[in-house]
Structure 1
Amino acid sequence: MRLLAFALAFVTLVAGLVLGPAQTAQAADVPLLQRGLAGLSYLPMSGVDGVAGPQTAESVRHFQSDNGLEVDGQAGPLTMAALLAKVKQVQSAAGTGADGDYGPATLSAVRAYQSARDLDVDGIAGPQTMGAMGIDRITASGQGTSSNTRLLQRNLAGLGYLPLSGVDGVYGPITKNAVLSFQSDNDIAVDGIAGPQTNGTLAAKVKQVQSAAGTPADGDYGPATLSAVRSYQAARNLEVDGIAGPQTMAAMGIAREIGTTTPGGQPSGGTPSLPPLTGSVRDKIVQAARHELDRGVREWGNNCNPYGACEAWCAHFASWTWQQAGINYHTAFTGNFYYYGRDHGTLTTDVRNSNPQPGDVVLFGTGPSSTSTSTHIGVVERNNGDGTVTTIEGNYQDRVARVIRPLNRGIYAVVAPPGA
C-alpha cells in the first residue's frame, strides 16, 4: 500500500510539472488562484469555484498580458508569483496582512480603503482602486520605475494621446490605450507595450516637435517644451495649449500617422476630413460612421485603409469613429474593446438581454483572447427593437457597409462609449 501511495503521489507531481498548475492544481490551489484573479478584477467573484476551466484560463491570460508574462493561460510558478506579489501590494496598501490570499479579510480591508476615499465600495482592487493605491496594474511596458513611466506619459500627453492629468506615474489602462493609439499611428506592433521601439519612436517624434518649436531636442516633453509649443502656436494662430496635436504637427510638417505605403504609392492611415459633428458623444460617433459610409470608403492594396496601417481594419474604423467624438482611444484589435469596456464599466456580455444604443460597438466571435476568437466589430447605428441592430462596419467585404445584425447570433459583447 505504501508503494502504491508513493507511486500515485509521484504521478500527480509529474503531471503538475508537465501540465502546469492551471490544469492540475489541487482544489486548495485553484481557489487561491481564482481569489487573487477575482480580487484584482480579472475574474468575477462567481468564478471562484475551484474549477480551472476556460473562464479562469482567460483571466490568467489577461493577467499575464498586463504583467509582461508569457501569455499561455497556465498559472505556472512565474504567474503565481506575480499574482501573489500584486495581491500583497494591495493588502499592504489596504492595511491588512500581506499573505497573498485575497480572502474575506482582504475584501473587507479594501472596502474600508475605498470608503475612506470615495471610491466604488466593492472590495475589488480594480484599475481605479489600484491607481489610488499607487500600484502599477499594467507592468508590461518595460518601464521599471515611476519616473520612467512619467517620461512616457509626458511624451504621450505632449503629442495629444493622453490628457495632461494622466501623467501620474501609473501605467494603467488609460496609458496603455494611449500607447496603443501611438503604435497604431506609427506602424508599430499594436500591443500596448512601451518597449524600446515604441519609446524610441515616441522620443524621436517629440524631438521633431522640439526642433520645430525652437527648444532643445532632448526627447522629454516637459514644461520647457509646452512653453515653446505655445509660442509656436500663438505665432501661427493655432489653438494655444502647448500640445502637439494633429493641427500643430501638420503645421510643423511632421507626419503624425505613418502607416504603410502600397505599391501604387498611396499611404495607409490618415485623418479623413469631416464636416462639423454636433450633438452627444453617441450622435457624433454615428455621424462620423455615416459620413464614411456615404463617401463609399473601400480598402486598396492589401487591407490598406484611411484609419490605420495596412491590416484587418474593422477595429481601426470603429475606434476612429469614437475618436471623432472626443474619446482618446484607438486600437487595431477588436478584442481590446472588450477590455476597454471592462476597465471603464461599459461592457455588457449578456448580449441577448442587452439594449445596444447608437454609438455602441458590438463584438463578433466567442471572446477577446485572440484574433481567432474576436473576429469583427461593428458600430451600432440604431437598435431596431426586434432583436436586431443596424451597424456600420469597416472592412465588411473590403468596404464600409451598413449591415443588420441579430443580437442572438455571433455577438459576444456590447461596449458603450465612456461618458455617453
Structure 2
Amino acid sequence: MPSLSSPSRTTRPPDRAAVSARRLMAMLLTLAAALTALLTGPVPAAHAVDTGLLQRGLSGLSYLPRSGVDGAYGPQTQDSVRHFQRDNGLEADGDAGPKTMAALLAKVKLVQSAAGTPADGDYGTNTLGAVRTYQSRHGLEADGIAGPRTMGEMNIDRIVSSGQGGGTDSETKLLQRNLAGLGYLPLSGVDGAYGPRTKNAVLSFQSDNDLDVDGIAGPQTKGALSAKVQRVQSAAGTPADGDYGPNTLGAVRTYQSGHGLEVDGIAGPRTMAAMGIAREIGSTGPGGGPSGGSPTVPVPPLSGSVRDKIIQAARSQLGQEEWGNNCNPYGRCEAWCAHFASWAWQQAGINYHTAFSGDFYYYGRDHGTLRTDLRNAAPKPGDVILFGTGPSSTSTSVHVGVIERDNGDGTVTTIEGNHNDRVERVTRRLVGGWPAYAIVSPSGG
C-alpha cells in the first residue's frame, strides 16, 4: 500500500510592496514621535510626586482645567506647572520638583484655611465644596475654583515677586514704595509681592492719572508714578531720583512740619495740594475739580473729632449738583459717589482718595476697620456703607454713602454723592433693602 504523505506547502515570496509600506509607516511614526518631543519638550520621565495631587492642586487654583486631572504628566500639565512656577518666583521648567510641590501645597493650604476646611494640601471634593460655600457668601462665582478673584478676596497673593507681567522683587518694592509714598498703599504693603493690595493701589493710581485702568504696572504707569514722585521730591527739596525711600519720607516730613500739615512723610492729597501738585490729571487737587471750569467747593471751618469733621464736610455739600457728563467738584468726570465719600474723609485729615467704591473695602481690611456682618455692624457717623455684592469690580460694588447717623431701627441716614446727580440725604436699610455688603470706618476715627 503506498504511503500517504502530507501535501507539500508552497512558500510564497514576500510581497515587497507591503514590506516597503510597513517600513515607511514605521519611519513616519518614528519621525512623528521625534517631532512631538521636539515641539512639546521632554515629558519628565520619573516624578516622585503624586500626579493626581499635583493636578488637583493646579486645577483648584485655576491653572489646569478640571478635564486635565487625568493622572498623566503630559504637555498640558507641564504648561500648567510652568504657569504656576512663573507666578511664584520659581524656575519655570515645567518639572514639579520639591520646591514647586511645596509652594503649590502651601498655596492650597492657604485657600483651605480661608475657606474653613482642613488644610491638608489636597484640593479634593471637600475643598471644592468649601470654596463654593465661601464664594457664595462673598458674592463670587460659586465654582469652587480659587482663581484670581477668589484668592484676592481671601487676601492670598496669587503672584509672588512679580510686577504683573515681569519684574524682580526689587522692582516690585520700588513700585510699592512709590505707591505708598503717594498714599495709595499702606507702608505695610511694601513686601515685594504683587498681590491684591498692590494691584488695587495701581488701579487707583491709574484712575487718578488718566491711564488705562488695568492693574498692570507697565512702562506708562511706572513712568507716570516716577514722574509724580520726582515732583514731590523736588518740592520737598530732596534729590529727584523717583524712589520714595527713607530720604524722601524724611524730606516730606520736614516739608509737612513747616507747612502745618500732618507729619507722616506721605504725600497724600493735602500735602500734594500744598506743593501745588495735581493728584489727579485734570484736577486742581482737593477742593478743586476737573479741568473745564469746575467751581471750587466751599467748605466751612470744621471742628471736633475726625467723625465730626467728616459729617460737617458732607453736610456742607448737600444739594451740590453735577454738570456735563458726570462732572463734579470732587474728582474726574465719571461716576463720583466714591470721589465724594473719600473727599469727605480727606477734609477730616484722612489720607485717602479713590474713584471706586470697592476700594473702601480694602482700606477697611488693611486698617482693621471693616465690618461685613451688617446686623451687628454698629454703624457710626463718618463711616461709609458699601452697596452691591462685593468689592471685586464696578459691577459688584456699585455705590457708597457716608453714614450721618444710625437711626436705631435697622436703618441709617446717609449723605451720598451722585444720588440723583447731586449730593443728597438718604435713608437706607442695613439689611433687607438695597443690598449692602460692608461698613468701613476711617482709621483713627
TM-score, normalization by structure 1: 0.61
List per-residue Cα deviations over 1:3-46 (Å, max 9, x = no partner): xxxxxxxxxxxxx9xx99788899xxxxx9996564463x4559
Task: For 2:307, give the aligned amino acid.
Answer: R
Alignment of 1:348-387 (within 5 A): 348-352=371-375, 354-387=377-410
Question: Which residue in 2 is equivalent to 1:290?
Answer: 315
Query: Could you give the per-residue CA deviations for residues 258-302 of structure 1, whole angstroms, max 9, x where no partner exists?
Result: 24799982259x9875623421x4333323322222xx3211211
Alpha-carbon RMSD: 4.8
Establish whether residue 151 from structure 1 lines up as the match of residue 174 from structure 2: yes
Equivalent residue for 2:439? 415
1:310, CA displacement in angstroms? 1.2
Aligned counterparts, 1:234-313, within 5 A: 243-246=266-269, 248-250=271-273, 252-259=275-282, 265-266=292-293, 273=299, 275-279=301-305, 281-293=306-318, 296-313=319-336
| Sequence identity percentage | 62
Whichever residue aligns with residue 256 of structure 1, its letter is: R
Indicate conservation of the 8 Å contact 2:377/2:439, yes or no: no
1:355, distance to aligned residue in structure 2 (A):
3.5
Using the alignment, how far apart are the partners of 1:227 and 1:34 within structure 2?
38
Quote the Cα distance in structure 1 between the aligned partners of 2:384 and 2:406: 12
Match of 1:50 in 2: 129
Q: How does 1:157-176 map to 2 (within 5 A)?
A: 157-162=180-185, 167-171=190-194, 175-176=198-199
| Residue of structure 2 aligned with 1:185, choices 196, 204, 208 | 208
TM-score by length of 2: 0.58
Instruction: State the aligned residue count.
Output: 336
Cα 1:339–1:243 shift into 2, 3 Å: closer
Show the 5 A alignment for 1:190-205: 190=213, 192-205=215-228
List gaps (5 residues or longer) in structure 1: 1-15, 27-31, 63-71, 87-124
- Structure 1 contact 40–126 (Cα < 8 Å) conserved: no
Looking at structure 2, the residues matched to 346 and 234 of structure 1 have their Cα atoms a distance apart, in angstroms, of 28
SS in structure 2 of the partner of residue 50 of structure 1: helix
Equivalent in the alignment of 1:391: 414
The answer for the alignment partner of 1:405 in structure 2 is 428
C-alpha distance after superposition, 1:42-88 (max 9, x if no partner)? x45599562775853897979xxxxxxxxx97849xx59x98xx9xx
Q: In the aligned structure 2, how far is the partner of 1:265 from the partner of 1:373? A: 31
Amino acid at match of 1:416: V
Deviation at 1:175, TM superposition (A): 4.6
Q: Distance in 2 between matches of 1:248 and 1:372?
A: 33
* Matched ranges for 1:14-163 at <5 A: 36=109, 38-39=111-112, 41=114, 43=115, 45=117, 48=127, 50=129, 53=132, 56=135, 75=145, 79=147, 141-142=164-165, 144-162=167-185
Which structure has more RCO (C-alpha within 8 Å, separation ≥ 6)? 1
Q: Is the 8 A contact 2:269 2:352 kept in 1?
A: no
